Amino acid sequence: MTRAVYLAGGGLCCTAGSTPATVAEALANSSGRLAASALSLGERRFPYAALPGPLPQDADDWLRRAEAACRRAVAPLGALPGDVPLFFASSSFQIGHFEAQPAPRDLPPACASFVGRVAGRLGLDGVRHSFSNACISGQQAIQAAAAQIADGSIDDALVLGCELYNRSTAAGFAGMGLLSPTACRPFDRDRDGLVLGEAVAALQLSARPAGWRLAAVDSALDAFSPTGPTPDGSRIAALLAACLAEAALPPADIDLVKLHAAGSPTNDPAEANALRTVFGNAMPPLCSLKGSLGHALGASGVVETVALLACLDAGFVPPTAGFVTPDPEISLQPAVDRSNRPVRRVLLNGIGFGGGLAAMIIERSA
């Protein structure tokens, strides 16, 4: 049994706003510029896309803030059945809560126990699934939920992406020299690293028809390096081709590519090489959201899907903040101005630590 899977609704709480509509308005009216906070790590300071309000100071603050953000993200979906399955994606789960506890810290058997706490606060007692595969966690949660709807096992699913402040993640990326000291510059010649961010996003998938349909979603592994894909982009290109084949679409039918494009010196060129392999000289318009929202790591697949859908439903393609100077090595330019061009089908790309790759195609169902 194979059924169509629809994107029935979304909610979002991030640095740009606490609902999809407010996020879309922010991206439309500010050229997508990120109003970043500052994160101090020793003597170094990095831009950080925090939720509004102060960062938590103790363990109880962290949990209250996390639960409040999850409730805000789910609120636009209205009343959900209590037994709706929850597919939860995160790179860090409740590490921020553990950091704020006094030593010695007593960790639970699995950090994913946080998912049960969140589900309880949301009044959900259905089956819970946890996904933690670096930056493609959100796409893999969507993939798993969609597979169960498509085969008739369930009719609805709630996918929740959650990435919130913790010093361990920030210090790890800083220690590897992967954080920009200034700004995220996707595909730009002067890109010098990532800008991390907090965000919680909710996406409801359903077998019931809605305005957008999930045409295809797939994931793969690129074993070239623990921290980056094959430089020629061949594994990314193979996944994009497979996703197009699953959707039964030629490359020419894609109206927009939502790039992963985190401003990484090495990953951005690999992604560009893959896109040239797949699209050749008929490159569709490109956009990246990380210059506007920050990089929400394990939640980014859900966050950027919900944010992009909010913009498209408002009638525009969001600008790519941070792109100024073309890079001859990349030779591709994401759009820096808001566009009102019609968009029916979108390819969303994801690249993660550990070699994870993800691709998704969504299309208007009417």
Structure tokens at 123: 């009044």
* Alpha-carbon gap, residue 142 to 161, rounded angstroms: 10
* Alpha-carbon gap, residue 319 to 290, rounded angstroms: 11
- Whether residue 259 contacts residue 334, with contact meaning beta carbons closer than 8 Å, is answered with yes
* Alpha-carbon gap, residue 11 to 200, rounded angstroms: 8
* Alpha-carbon gap, residue 125 to 50, rounded angstroms: 30
* Alpha-carbon gap, residue 210 to 158, rounded angstroms: 15
User: Among residues 14, 70, 260, 287, which one is catalytic?
Assistant: 260
Identify which of 40, 114, 31, 118 has the alpha carbon closest to the alpha carbon of residue 72. Answer: 118
Structure tokens at 164: 């919130």
Identify which of 304, 254, 246 has the alpha carbon closest to the alpha carbon of residue 278. Answer: 254
Identify which of 143, 144, 163 has the alpha carbon closest to the alpha carbon of residue 73. Answer: 163
Active site residue 135: yes
- Whether residue 144 contacts residue 5, with contact meaning beta carbons closer than 8 Å, is answered with no
User: Among residues 184, 243, 295, 311, which one is catalytic?
Assistant: 295
Active site residue 129: no
User: Among residues 135, 184, 287, 311, which one is catalytic?
Assistant: 135
Active site residue 97: no
Residues noted as catalytic: 135, 260, 295
